[in-house]
Homo-oligomer: A and B are copies of this chain.
Amino acid sequence: MWQLYHFPLCPFSRKVQLVLSEKKVPFVLQLAYPWRADEPIHGLNAASRTPVLERQDGKLVLTDSQAICEYFEETEDRSPLIPGSAVARAEVRRLTALFDDNLYGDVTELLLYEKMKKRLVLRQSPDSATLRAAMRLTHEHLDYLDWLVDNRRWLAGAQLSLADFAAAAQVSVIDYLGGIDWSGHESAHGWYRVMKSRPSFAPLLKQKMEGIPAPRHYADVNA
């Protein structure tokens, strides 16, 4: 059994939750807010951020979402998520990094700052120019998702992979924060509805961030 330190809108904790669920690795959630100085994660992770995954005997702590996903890819035979040849695996990792780094840095990180941190920690209003810029960049990323979905069975190729879960984790946080407008992105929208309908996704759609209500459509797998 593992304990996952997370907060409900951490996209990287969501990515790990999805992978653990797909691989049927049992875990319990433990709330952790990285912006609070007294959180145990600061002692468990030199990077001072979620996710942190601790084995319940306390003898193994894993951090960094990609290192965690690679660990379970190597130790669990069930549901390979970095499948195929070395070239196919490079494509899964390229896209996973594109969502973890670029989609996160261009959009998710800005929305978390403007709509979560400013509200809960800094007690400020979001900056509308930043939100507009994030919305523009979201459309560019959704264009690329459309292209992938139009040209492949799943994002990285013929098989469902970590790239799909990394992308869906970011999209779900952006959607929770009201940042997704699907108009003109029917292909990406169809893909996200399929991802949302997976049993591994159901717990994420129920998790609420205290003080930040989700829009009504957020948890609706048909919306």
Contact = CB atoms under 8 A, between A and B. Distances in A.
B97 A66 contact: yes
Interface string A126-144: 0000000000000000001
Given A75-B86, A86-B74, A87-B60, A66 B93 contact: yes
What is the count of identical protomers in the complex? 2
Contacts of A144: 46
Given A98-B46, A98-B47, A101-B47, A89 B62 contact: no
A2 to B, nearest CB: 13
A221 interface: no
A79 interface: no
Interface string A88-124: 0110011001100110000000000000000000000
Contacts of A74: 86, 89
A35 interface: no
B102 A90 contact: no
A102 B47 contact: yes
A70 B98 contact: no
Given A86-B71, A86-B74, A89-B74, A94 B63 contact: yes
Contacts of A98: 46-47, 64
A67 interface: yes
Interface string A39-71: 000000011000000000000101110111011
A66 B102 CA distance: 14
A97 B51 CA distance: 13
Q: Which of A60, A75, A87, A90 has the most CB of B within 10 A?
A: A90
A83 to B, nearest CB: 13
Nearest to A141: B46
24 contacts: A46-B98, A47-B97, A47-B98, A60-B87, A63-B94, A64-B93, A64-B94, A64-B97, A64-B98, A66-B66, A66-B97, A67-B93, A67-B94, A67-B97, A68-B90, A70-B89, A70-B90, A70-B93, A71-B87, A71-B89, A71-B90, A74-B86, A74-B89, A75-B86
